[in-house]
Chain A
Amino acid sequence: MSSTVDTNDDALADKPWRQYICVACGLIYDEREGDPDGGLAPGTRFADIPDDWECPVCGVTKKDFKPFVKRERDAKAPSLVPIKGEGIVIVGGGMAGWAMAEAIRERDSEVPVIMITACTGDRYNKPQLSVSFAKASGRQALVRESAMEESQRLGVTVINHTFVVSVSASLRQIRTTRGTFKYKKLVIAQGSQTRMPAELPENLCWRINVLDDWCTILPKLQDAPKRIAIVGAGMVGCEIAEDLSRMGHEVYLLSRNRFPLESLLPEIAGARLKSAQTDLGIKFISSKTIEQVVENSDSSKSILFSEQDTKQFDEIIATTGVSTDSRIANRAQLEFENGILVDPDTMQTSQQHIYAVGDCASFSGQCYRYIGLIDQQVSVVADTLVSKSSAGTYQNNKMPPVVLKTKSCPVEINGTPDVTGDWEVVKKSPDYLFLTQMRNGKVGATISVGKSR
């Protein structure tokens, strides 16, 4: 790492600049760059950051950051040409796919690794998609490293813009739109896709699930203020609503529920969020069911509600939650329940030699779609696949906090809350609300809404 020592004249620079990663959203704080928007001048050492400084993306504080160590390749560079039938194939080039590739390379510099991904494979921080329309100018602002750079750094063959069509577990063969590959071990990191209800036609409603989606819609949002409907008031819907509202768009947040985040928050907390959104100019349309979406002759779209009323928009964005596509799992005869079922200790699927990590992995029917869980999952798989030492065990016991990255009214949920259960109000001021939920005599979950200062 010595090559990364900065030689500028800053007296502090006699030590290399270090980077720290946010465990909630994956943002990297680089001491060299600081966080000028957050009041940290370039060159601010992590140790000198005040405790109340907030992650510029998700709003957690300094305590939720840990040192970030970029995994370097060993000097012995493996050939980029895969050795037939001997390699590890990773399906998916998102955060979990790349984390998997890194974890393998950390342990073994020679085993051939092929990554097959439907997208470009550029590395970016997915949670930023929903909060970056206002401040990012284009693709380059979000890409941390291109697929090409990552491929060379890690010695991974990237086959991008390629769909996996089917997998044969018995032949250990993976069929794609760019040919058929053999694998020794297969890791599925296919991620999740936006769940599109039948009443939202794909040709009329945008989804913002991957960087390519984000890049496609961005120019439409940059040219002029628009009337935008965001369908679904979950985490992503709330974040995008705030982001687009700050860009000057007329934003409507549509929900079947009475208040935003109803599946996560008790009403007292949800009402605070809703009121903050209203203050920003977001129009929350609650308790509405969409019947149909049609395109008008001027290319605007009309939403018809089941109450028979109609509303017209320039763009519609579906933030209706995510699900795991079952195609690969079905074709490979993997057990599937909301996601690809994995052994919670080893991340192995129901088929030998096939593993699943990240959003697509299902633990007895439950998918935990948190960035913060990926590292440990890929470590366990990498230990099993390439480590000479005994394999680690994945213990899915500590849930990372759920952080709603809305600046107007940040929300943080810790623990495992039962929404319908009782909550105790611990702190309550006009700007801040702190709730706790007791379980077996201990604090089982907490929710904070707003800013404590």
Chain B
Amino acid sequence: MLLRDTIDSKALSALQHVVQRNQTHGSLSKKSALENVNIIASDELAPRANDIDEGYYPLNIMSALGGAGAFGAHLGGSSAQFGDAISAMQMISRACGSTGFLTWCHDVCGLYLEQSGNSALLARLPAHVSGETFGGTALSNPMKSFAGIESMLLKAEKTSSGYLINGSLPWVSHIDQGQYCGAIAAVENADGSHSHEIMFLLEANESVVLKPCPVFSGMEGTSTKSIVVKNLEISDDHIIADPAKPFIAKIRAAFVLLQTGFGAGVIEGSIESMLEVEDGLGHVNQFLHNRPDELQVEFEELKQKLQDLAQTPFETDKQYVIDVLDARAHTSELALKASQSALLHQGARGYLMSSAPQRRIREAHFVAIVTPAIKHLRWEINRLMKETVPS
């Protein structure tokens, strides 16, 4: 299922490319990769944050970030640095939550390509990592389906050459014509029952109709569409995992853990907004609860927890998975708390439509409701912590 026994030379060179990139960015020069990401985030991304929030899809900036090494730290097998991938995402999200979220979509798609072990998909990895091509993830529905919350929306039918996919998904981010995303479909038997699920790279071609979603309260530049799939043919070259479940079990913690970089950036930006006004408003802000120093202490503890968990992203031990889910929930809770407090600290200034604190309120709520939402995380932790008993 994972690294297939035979990886052809093309695929091998693709993997080596990523490894090499990480080594170049590794140890001594690693800092400069993150520094470059930080410079792009502050100089190019931050000024466009409100435009992006309102609908500008920043593929040009994503390209620049890819070129700087923002999307590859978590790849490359033994040289992977998940902690750095989270840190890079945090820097981006601190400047613009929408782009922080796009970074997560892009990062997990890279993870699917790499972990598939499929040479055809591995060959696409270098262009993906460097931001020449773009792709995200459509696993919100399947993840909830596997947790017993929803049923699977995409269906696959076995054909002589692969599978035929049909169905629709309500919202997929970081998708556009010519782009792609990781998706999962339930394989239907002739009698309508499901044999198993497959995971594949869904390319937005003529068999896929992208429809605009109703207007969201923010994060409009994430190119979030509903997708309708009609008779999309899938060949072996598209298969990420068949069956999908063992693959998901392996990458689940990494998938959730990476997302914390998005929330962490919102928290960091919020604390900065509070400190920004401290000189002028500190004399009255002292009466607020959730003061920046208080939040910073909690944030430091959370960041340390995330970096510790990032050491073993493919661990499947139940206690580890619970820790990852809990850290993700903590990120949401702290993002909500910090973003609200940032607006209170800035007062009317923070309530201006152009201000970062009001935008971050909406970003933080997205952190808290996007799959896995706080309620999904607690549902799943509850399920994992319950003792199994005979039936």
A→B interface (CB under 8 Å): 118, 163, 165-166, 168, 170-171, 173, 175, 177-178, 180, 193, 202-207, 213, 216, 315, 327, 331
Within 8 A of A (CB), among B46-104: none
CB of B43 closer than 8 Å to a CB of A:
no
Cβ-neighbour of A203 out of B297, B326, B378, B388 (below 8 A): B388
Report A-chain residues with C-beta under 8 Å of the C-beta of B297: 170-171
In the complex, which residue of chain A has the Cβ closest to the Cβ of B319?
Answer: A327
Q: Which residues of B are in contact with A by a Cβ distance under 8 Å? A: 297-298, 301, 319, 322-323, 326, 329-330, 333, 378, 381-382, 385, 387-391
Q: Which of B298, B319, B378, B387 contacts A177 (CB 8 A)?
A: B378
In the bound complex, CA of A206 to CA of B333 (Å) = 37
Could you tell me if B391 and A163 are in contact, using CB atoms closer than 8 angstroms? no
Residue on A nearest B379 in the bound complex, by CB: A177
Identify the closest chain B residue to A176 (Cβ).
Answer: B378
> With A165-B326, A327-B319 in contact, is A202–B387 under 8 Å at CB?
yes
Top 8 A-B residue pairs of the complex, sorted by shortest distance between their CB atoms: A202-B388, A163-B385, A177-B382, A177-B378, A165-B326, A203-B388, A177-B381, A171-B298
Min CB distance B328 to A, Å, is 11
Taking CB as reference atom, which chain A residue is nearest B329?
A: A175
Across-interface contacts of B322 in A (CB, < 8 A)? 165
Residue pair A177, B389 in contact (C-beta under 8 Å):
no
With contacts A165-B322, A165-B381 known, is A175 near B330, CB below 8 A? yes
A177, A178, A203, A327: the one contacting B391 at CB < 8 Å is A203
- B329 near A203 (CB under 8 angstroms)? no
The smallest beta-carbon distance between A77 and chain B, in angstroms, is 27
Given A166-B323, A171-B297, A180-B333, residue A216 in contact with residue B389 (CB < 8 A): yes
Asked whether, in the complex, the Cβ of B385 is within 8 Å of the Cβ of A207, the reply is no
Residues A204 and B390 in contact in the complex (CB < 8 Å), given A166-B323, A168-B301, A170-B301: yes
Apart from A166-B323, A216-B389, what 16 extra A-B contacts exist at CB < 8 Å?
A: A163-B382, A165-B322, A165-B326, A165-B385, A166-B326, A168-B301, A171-B298, A173-B298, A177-B378, A180-B333, A202-B389, A203-B389, A203-B391, A206-B389, A207-B387, A327-B319
Closest chain B residue, CB of each to CB of A162: B382
| Contact call A178/B378, Cβ cutoff below 8 A | yes
Closest to B391 in A: A203
Assembly CA distance A173 to B326 (angstroms): 13
What residue of chain A has the Cβ atom nearest to residue B330's Cβ? A175
Select from chain A the residue with minimum beta-carbon distance to B384.
Answer: A163
Main secondary structure of the interface of B (DSSP, over half): helix
Residues of chain A with a CB closer than 8 A to B390's CB = 203-206, 315
- When C-beta atoms are compared, the residue in chain B nearest to A295 turns out to be B390
Measured between alpha carbons, how far is A177 from B322 in the docked complex, in Å?
Answer: 11
When chains A and B are docked, how far (Å) is the Cα of A292 from the Cα of B390?
16
Which residues of B have CB within 8 Å of A118? 385
A105→B389 CA distance, assembly (Å): 36
Contact residues in A for B329 (Cβ distance below 8 Å): 175
A177 CB contacts on chain B under 8 angstroms: 378, 381-382, 385
Give the chain A neighbours of B381 by CB distance below 8 A: 163, 165, 177
**In the complex, what residues of B have CB within 8 A of residue A203's CB?**
388-391
Pull 30 A–B residue pairs with CB atoms less than 8 Å apart, ordered by A.
A118-B385, A163-B382, A165-B326, A165-B381, A165-B385, A166-B323, A168-B301, A170-B297, A170-B301, A171-B298, A171-B301, A173-B298, A175-B329, A177-B381, A177-B385, A180-B330, A180-B333, A193-B387, A202-B389, A203-B388, A203-B390, A203-B391, A205-B390, A206-B389, A206-B390, A207-B387, A216-B389, A315-B390, A327-B319, A331-B323
Complex contacts, B387 vs chain A, CB 8 Å:
193, 202, 207
Closest chain B residue, CB of each to CB of A202:
B388
Chain A residue numbers with a CB within 8 Å of B298 are 171, 173
CA distance A368 to B298 in the complex (A): 36
CA distance A349 to B388 in the complex (A): 30
How far apart are the CA atoms of A166 and B302 in the complex, in Å? 12
Distance between Cα atoms of A165 and B380 in the complex (Å): 12
What residues on A are CB-neighbors of B323 within 8 Å? 166, 331
Identify the closest chain A residue to B334 (Cβ). Answer: A180
Please give me the residue from chain A that is nearest to B297 by CB atom: A171
- What separation, in Å, do the CA atoms of A267 and B335 have in the docked complex? 63
* Measured CA separation A8–B234 after assembly (Å): 83
Which of chain B's residues have a CB closer than 8 A to the CB of A171? 297-298, 301
Minimum Cβ distance to chain A for residue B288 (Å): 14
> Which B residues lie within 8 Å of A204 (CB)?
390
Nearest A residue to B387 by beta-carbon distance? A202
Report how far A168 CA is from B333 CA in the complex, Å: 15
By a CB distance below 8 angstroms, the chain A residues around B326 are 165-166, 175
Instruction: Tell me, in angstroms, the Cα distance from A170 to B387 when the chains sit together.
Output: 30
How near does chain B come to A389, taking the closest CB pair, in angstroms?
A: 33
CA distance A3 to B333 in the complex (A): 48
CB distance from B312 to the nearest CB of A (A): 15
Tell me the minimal C-beta distance from B19 to chain A in angstroms: 34
Query: Please, which residue of chain A has its CB at the minimum distance from the CB of B378?
Result: A177
How far is the CB of A216 from the nearest CB of chain B, in Å?
6
| Complex Cα spacing A216 to B386, Å | 14
Residue ID in chain B nearest A165 by CB atoms: B326
- Contacts of B301 on A, CB cut-off 8 Å? 168, 170-171
B391 / chain A contacts, CB cutoff of 8 Å: 203
Kindly state the separation between the CA atoms of A203 and B385 in the bound complex, as whole angstroms.
14
A411, chain B: closest CB distance, angstroms: 30
Which residues of chain A come closer than 8 Å to B389, judged between CB atoms? 202-203, 206-207, 213, 216
Distance from A163 Cβ to chain B, minimum over Cβ atoms (Å): 4
A1, B378: Cα distance in complex, Å: 43
The minimal Cβ–Cβ distance linking B298 to chain A, given in whole angstroms, is: 6
For the complex formed, measure the closest distance between the CB of B260 and the CB atoms of chain A, giving whole angstroms: 15
Please give the distance in Å from B80's CB to the nearest CB on chain A. Answer: 26
B382 / chain A contacts, CB cutoff of 8 Å: 163, 177
- Residue on B nearest A166 in the bound complex, by CB: B326
CB distance from B83 to the nearest CB of A (A): 20
Residues of B within 8 A of A173 (CB): 298
CA–CA, A203 and B390, complex, Å = 4
Q: When chains A and B are docked, how far (Å) is the Cα of A193 from the Cα of B389?
A: 13
A129 to chain B, nearest CB (A): 15
Closest Cβ of chain A to B325, distance in Å, is 8
A331 closest partner in B (C-beta)? B323
Alpha-carbon separation in the docked complex, A363 to B11 (Å)? 58
With A and B bound together, what is the CA distance between A163 and B391 in angstroms?
22
Q: How far is the CB of A241 from chain B (nearest CB, A)?
A: 19
Complex interface: chain B residues within 8 A of A168 (CB): 301
Shortest beta-carbon distance, A217 to chain B, in Å?
Answer: 8
CB distance from B253 to the nearest CB of A (A): 15
The answer for the CA separation of A203 and B389 in the assembled complex, in Å, is 5
The chain B residue sitting closest to A173, CB to CB, is: B298
Task: Tell me the bound Cα distance from A165 to B374 in angstroms.
Answer: 14
Q: A202–B326 Cα gap in the complex (Å)?
A: 24
Q: How far is the CA of A165 from the CA of B326 in the complex (A)?
A: 7
With most chain B CB atoms within 10 A of its CB, the pick from A166, A178, A213 is A166
Report how far A347 CA is from B381 CA in the complex, Å: 30
Taken together as a complex, chains A and B put the C-alpha atoms of A306 and B29 apart, in Å, by 57
Neighbouring B residues of A206 by C-beta, 8 Å: 389-390
A327 to chain B: which residues have CB within 8 Å? 319
How far in angstroms is the closest Cβ of chain A from B316?
Answer: 17
C-alpha gap A168/B389 in the complex (Å)? 31
Task: Report how far A207 CA is from B381 CA in the complex, Å.
Answer: 22
Q: Which residues of B contact A170 (CB under 8 A)?
A: 297, 301
A71 to B23, CA, bound (A): 67
**Which chain B residues border A315 with CB–CB below 8 Å?**
390
Distance to closest chain B CB from A152 (angstroms): 26
